[in-house]
Amino acid sequence: MIRRILIFAGFCLFSFIVFSQSEMKEVKLTPLEKYVIEDKGTEHPFTGDYWNHYEDGSYHCKRCDALLYRSDDKFDSRCGWPSFDDEVEGAIKRQTDADGYRTEILCANCDAHLGHVFEGEGFTDKNVRHCVNSVSLNFIPQQEKETPKTETAIFASGCFWGTEYHFSKKKGVISTTVGYTGGDLENPDYRLVCTGKTGHVEAVKVVFDPSLVSYRDLVVLFFETHDFTQTNGQGPDIGTQYLSRIFYFSDAQKEVAEKTIRYLEERKDYDVATKVMPAVKFYDAEDYHQDYYDKKGSTPYCHIWRPIF
Catalytic amino acids? 131, 159
* Spatial CA neighbour of 156 closest among 129, 189, 179, 137: 179
Q: Evaluate the CA torsion angle 278, 282, 285, 287 in order and state its sign.
A: positive
Contact between 93 and 111 under an 8 Å Cβ cutoff? The reply is: yes
Q: Provide the 3-class DSSP secondary structure of residue 229.
A: coil
> How does DSSP classify residue 99?
T
Provide the CA 289 distance to its chain's centre, in angstroms: 26
Q: Provide the 3-class DSSP secondary structure of residue 61.
A: strand
User: Residue 99 contacts by C-beta under 8 Å, 6 or more apart in sequence?
Assistant: none
Contact between 216 and 108 under an 8 Å Cβ cutoff? The reply is: no
Contact between 300 and 293 under an 8 Å Cβ cutoff? The reply is: yes
Is residue 141 classed exposed, middle or buried when 0-12, 13-18 and 19+ CB atoms within 10 A define those classes?
exposed
The percent helix, strand, coil of the chain (3-state, each to 5) is 25, 25, 50
Give the amino acid at 104. Answer: E
* Radius of gyration in angstroms for the set of CA atoms belonging to the chain, rounded to a whole number: 22
